[in-house]
Structures are given as structure tokens and as C-alpha cells.
């Protein structure tokens, strides 16, 4: 179903508000929406709510044969297929531009930045490696799918526990969850995406755009950083031209945001771990 363009009234109201340093939902320019993380009963299931945007990530693993030319490397696969549940503009089988961009950004942020150590997924070189699969389901689209998906994916990978394996010579034993406690994955760093949207020839810059702001924006840029102030990815695909100073300024804002979000993720993971410990006793 084709999506309706925002009306002239909506567009003018949003731009007029921005020129008076206000956003329609009352946020400041550099404020993120309320971020809520909830974990499922199984390890590796996370639901992220960024305002009205809802994304769920589920991590699963299986043992497969590695590529012949990379015998010690495991696999990390992301599935970010957008379903019509998130928005009726998305169709099954036909990938919109937005879908392609979201998929590429997640791959760049997670895989290329080597957030997950794929060498650590090796069980027996050349024969058995772990293949980690992250399914990202988009439930509700109110803008900024990339940031929400990235937070969901990395939190799910941090939350996930894979079965413990012991290798004695040629024999490989994969322990069930009852035999041995499952082991966490080795995540090197936590990449977080921060998306900026530009209006008024680049004069107004906002963080975490809602769906309406995304439809009216003139350009956008996504920074992927971690807490150590390392840039994992920077994506500016089209849109109006931005000056170098503005980009550097955005990077400074992104650092602050990434620190906040990483702290929130850690707090949520710790709270969940404590809850599981109590329920086990």
C-alpha cells in the first residue's frame, strides 16, 4: 500500500516549530525518545521500544560446517526483513529503499565493526563452527528503525547464551542446557547507531526522528560509535550536503548519546541477570 505524503499543514507546522527550537513531541533537538528494553524468558530475546517504534530481536545458534577457505571462522547472520506489521507501506517480497538501507546499516554496524568475535565461534577447525543468527522483527514503525534495530540486535547478542561445548581430541560434546550452564558470546564492543535528520538547508539538526520528521527531512546521517569514542560506521546516503563542522559537531553529540544508551543497556542486562538468579534460587 502506498504511503500518504504528509499534508502541507503538517509539514509547515513541523518546520515552523523547528524554527522556534521546538519539536512536535516536545523533545529537545538532541533528545532521544524513552528507550525501554524488555527481555524474554529465553536467552537472546529482546524487545526494544523507542517511543512508539517497536523492534524485537531473537538470537539463535546452530552448528554447521565452515567455509573451506575460512576454516576457523564462525557465521553471524542478520535477518532484517520488514513485514507489513510495522507499516502497510512494506510489502512481502518487494524490498523498499528504506529496507535496503536499514539492512546495510545493521550489517555495517554489527558485522564489519567486528563487534562479535567470529573466531571465538570455532569448535573444531574445518569441521564444526557456530552459526549465530539474529532475526530482527519490526513491529511498529514510528521512525528511526535503524537505531532501534541496532540496540535490539546488540542487546540480544549480549543477552544470548550458547550451549557449552567440550572438545576431547576428535570427540565433540555439545552440552544441553540441563547438563551445563550456557556460555555468553564474546562481544568485543557495543556499537550503537545514532541517526540525525536535517532540515532548513542543514541549519536544524535533530536526533532520533519520528516517522513524520523522517518524511519531511531534507537529509540524514547515521553515526555508529561505541563508548570508547571509536567510529564503527558513518553513513550519509544522499540528502542535502552538510558542512564538515556540522558533521564533527554531530559526532560529539553522538558520543554523549552512545554513552547514555550503553549505560542503559548494561543496567537492563544486569537487572535481568539478577532476576534470573533470584528465580533460580
Q: Which of 6, 10, 60, 164 binds another protein (CB under 8 A)?
A: 60
For residue 235, state whether it binds another protein (rule: CB under 8 A): no
Which range of residues in 114-122, 140-148, 165-173, 241-249 is near another protein by CB under 8 A?
A: 140-148
For residue 159, state whether it binds another protein (rule: CB under 8 A): no
Q: Which three cell numbers stand for residue 257?
A: 548519546
Contact 56, 136 (CB under 8 A): yes
Binding map of another protein across residues 24-53, x = CB under 8 A, - = no contact: ----------------xxx--x-x----x-
Task: Work out the angle between the directed axes of helices 244-280 and 145-159 (0-180°, nearest 10).
Answer: 40
Task: Work out the angle between the directed axes of helices 97-106 and 145-159 (0-180°, nearest 10).
Answer: 40
Longest dimension (CA), the chain: 71
Interface size with another protein, residues (CB under 8 A): 28
Of 124 and 139, which has the nearer Cβ to another protein? 139
For residue 263, state whether it binds another protein (rule: CB under 8 A): no
For residue 98, state whether it binds another protein (rule: CB under 8 A): no
Of 37 and 192, which has the nearer Cβ to another protein? 37
For residue 23, state whether it binds another protein (rule: CB under 8 A): no
What b/e readout covers 187-214, taking b as 16+ CB neighbours within 10 angstroms? Answer: eebbbbbbbbbbbeeeebbbbbbbbbbb
In the complex, which residues of this chain contact another protein (CB under 8 A)?
A: 1-2, 40-42, 45, 47, 52, 54, 56, 58, 60, 79, 81, 83-88, 92, 133, 135, 137, 139-142
Amino acid at each position: 500500500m502506498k504511503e500518504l505524503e504528509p499534508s502541507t499543514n503538517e509539514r509547515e507546522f513541523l518546520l515552523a516549530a523547528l524554527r522556534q527550537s521546538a519539536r512536535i513531541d516536545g523533545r529537545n533537538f538532541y533528545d532521544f525518545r524513552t528507550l525501554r528494553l524488555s527481555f524474554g524468558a529465553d536467552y537472546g530475546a529482546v524487545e526494544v521500544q523507542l517511543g512508539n517504534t517497536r523492534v524485537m530481536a531473537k538470537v539463535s545458534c546452530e552448528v554447521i560446517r565452515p567455509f573451506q577457505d575460512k576454516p576457523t571462522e564462525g557465521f553471524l547472520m542478520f535477518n532484517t526483513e520488514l513485514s507489513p506489521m510495522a507499516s502497510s507501506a512494506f510489502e512481502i517480497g518487494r524490498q523498499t529503499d528504506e529496507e535496503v538501507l536499514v539492512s546495510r546499516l545493521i550489517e555495517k554496524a554489527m558485522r564489519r565493526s567486528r563487534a562479535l568475535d567470529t573466531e571465538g565461534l570455532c569448535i573444531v577447525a574445518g569441521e564444526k563452527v557456530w552459526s549465530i543468527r539474529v532475526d530482527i522483527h519490526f513491529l511498529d514503525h514510528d521512525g528511526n528503525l535503524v537505531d532501534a534495530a541496532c540496540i535490539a540486535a546488540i542487546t540480544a547478542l549480549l543477552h544470548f547464551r550458547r550451549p557449552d561445548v567440550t572438545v576431547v581430541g576428535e570427540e565433540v560434546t555439545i552440552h544441553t542446557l540441563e547438563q551445563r550452564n550456557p556460555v555468553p558470546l564474546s562481544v568485543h564492543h557495543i556499537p550503537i547507531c545514532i541517526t540525525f535528520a536535517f532540515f532548513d538547508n542543514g541549519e536544524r539538526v535533530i536526533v532520533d526522528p519520528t516517522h513524520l520528521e523522517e518524511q519531511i527531512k531534507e537529509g540524514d546521517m547515521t553515526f555508529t560509535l561505541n563508548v570508547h569514542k571509536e567510529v564503527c560506521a558513518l553513513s550519509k546516503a544522499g540528502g542535502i550536503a552538510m558542512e564538515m563542522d556540522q558533521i564533527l559537531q554531530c559526532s560529539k553529540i553522538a558520543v554523549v548519546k552512545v554513552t547514555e544508551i550503553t549505560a542503559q543497556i548494561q543496567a537492563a542486562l544486569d537487572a535481568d541477570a539478577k532476576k534470573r538468579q533470584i528465580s533460580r534460587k
